[in-house]
Amino acid sequence: MSAVPAPMRTIHGCRADALPLDELLAEGTPVLLKGVARDWGLVRAGLESSAEAMAHLRRFDADRPLQYSYGDPSIGGRPFYNDDFTALNFEVRRGGLDDVLRSIEDHLDDALPPTYYVASLALAAALPGFSDENDLDLAALGIGAPPSIWIGNRVVASCHFDAPENIAVCAVGQRRFTVFPPDQIDNLYPGPLDPTPGGQVVSLVDFAEPDFEQHPRFRDALAVAQTALLEPGDAIYIPGMWWHHVRSLAPFNVLVNYWWRRSPAYLASPLPALHHALWTLRDLPEREKRAWAGVFEYYVFGPGARAGEHLPVQARDILGPIDETLARRIRARLIGWLNR
C-alpha cells in the first residue's frame, strides 16, 4: 500500500475483568486492547512454541468433524476468487481438528505453504472446556457472545464488514488489522454478493499490491484507514459495520472472537432486505427510485416513531415498536408475499 494507515487508538493495561465496554460502544470506533488476554493458557503456550499451542488445543478437542478451507500454495494464503470471479480459489474440506493441526505443522517452515484455515468454529461444541482457561467472560458484563475460534497459517482475510459488534483476541501468532469506517464502502470496491470467500462480501483490492489504476478510489479509503498489530494476548474491538482486512503473520495463528448484536434477537438480519431491495428497487426508473428513497427515509431511516406517531396506538401495526410477537407477524406476512 502506498499510503500508511494511521495507528489505532490503544488502551494499555486493560484487564479482562474490567473491559471498558460502555466507553467502547459509546465511541463506536476501533480500539486496540493491549495485553487483555495475556493470562490465557493458550497465549502462554503459544509464547513457548507452536507445538505447545497445538498441544493446548488438542487437550480440548471433542474429535468432531469440522469444515476448513484448503488452498494450494499458489493462492498465497489469500482465500479469494478465480480470475473471472465465477468461483472461489480454494476448496472446503471436512476433517478433524488434529488433521488440520498436523497439516499446518507439516508446512511450518515452508516459504509458501498451502493454506489451511478453520473459520468461526463454535468453541462450546468443538473444544469443550477451552473457555475455562481462555475467556474474556463477557457474560459477566451482560453480553451474550458465544466465542468462536479461528485457526490457520499465514492466511489473509480480505477486507469485509460484519454487522455485529466484535472483540477479537489474538491468542497465538500475530495479526495485522486494517480498518475503515462504514462510509468507505464505495472506495473499497466490494465484490460479488454471492459467492463470497467467507459468507460476507469482500473488497476486491489486493492490499499487498493495490492496483490504483483499477481501484483509484482506494487511495481515499487509505487516507482514513487505521491499523493495529496484535501480539499474543492483545485484542481489538471492531464496531459493527466497520470494514476490516486481517493478515495473519506467523506460520501458526489462532484467534478467538466474540460477536454480539446490540439489537433484540427478534430483529432479523438486514441482509435479506438488501437482496430484496436490489430485486425490487434498484432498476426502477430514476424518478420512481428517488421517490422510493424518500419513502424509505420516512419509514425506515428517519426517526423511528415518526411514521406512526400521528396514528392511534391500535392502528399503528408495524409502524409501532416491534416486539417478538410483531416480528413473527411481519415474518409470516413477508413469507406470504414472497410465495405468491
Give the whole-angstrom CA distance, residue 286 versus residue 33: 47
The residue assigned the cell 499510503 is 3
Give the whole-angstrom CA distance, residue 2 versus residue 19: 35
Q: What is the mean pLDDT of residues 251-274?
A: 95
Cross-strand partners of 243: 161, 180
DSSP 4: -
Tell me the pLDDT of the chain averaged across its residues: 96
Q: Which of 316, 8, 59, 45 shows the shortest CA–CA distance to 181?
A: 8
CA-to-CA separations, 179 to 183, 194, 233, 302, in angstroms, rounded: 12, 23, 20, 27
Q: What's the confidence (pLDDT) of residue 2?
A: 59
Cross-strand partners of 147: 258
Query: Residue 286 pLDDT > 70, yes or no?
Result: yes
Contact 117, 79 (CB under 8 A): yes
Query: Residue 1 pLDDT > 60, yes or no?
Result: no
DSSP 233: T
Contact 279, 182 (CB under 8 A): no
Q: pLDDT of 229-243, one tens digit each?
A: 999 999 999 999 999
Helices 41-48 and 50-59, axial angle in degrees (round to 10): 150
Q: What are phi and psi of 4, to 5 degrees?
A: -105, 115
**Which cell numbers in the block locate residue 41?**
493458557
Query: Which H or E run includes 158?
Result: strand 156-161
Q: What is the mean pLDDT of residues 284-296?
A: 97
Q: Which domains does the chain have, with CATH numbers?
A: 6-260 (2.60.120.650), 271-338 (no CATH)
The residue assigned the cell 473488497 is 203
Q: What is the mean pLDDT of residues 194-216?
A: 96
Neighbours of 310 (CB within 10 A): 9
Q: What is the mean pLDDT of residues 177-197?
A: 97
Q: What's the confidence (pLDDT) of residue 16?
A: 84
Share of the chain above pLDDT 70, in %: 99
Query: Residue 152 pLDDT > 90, yes or no?
Result: yes
Amino acid identity at 43:
V
**Which cell numbers in the block locate residue 71?**
488452498
With b for 16 or more beta-carbon neighbours within 10 A and e for fewer, the 116-142 pattern comes to: bbbbebebeebbeebbebbbbebeeee
Q: pLDDT of 206-224, one tens digit each?
A: 999 999 999 999 999 999 9
Query: Residue 3 pLDDT > 80, yes or no?
Result: no
Q: What angle do CA 90, 96, 98 make, to 5 degrees?
A: 105
Q: What are phi and psi of 197, to 5 degrees?
A: -65, -30
Q: What is the largest CA-CA distance in the chain?
A: 70
Neighbours of 230 (CB within 10 A): 25
Q: pLDDT of 8-23, one tens digit each?
A: 999 998 888 889 999 9
Give the whole-angstrom CA distance, residue 31 versus residue 238: 7
Q: DSSP per residue over 257-309, as a string?
A: EEEE-SS-TTSPPSHHHHHHHHHHTTTS-HHHHHHHHHHHIIIIIS-TTGGGT
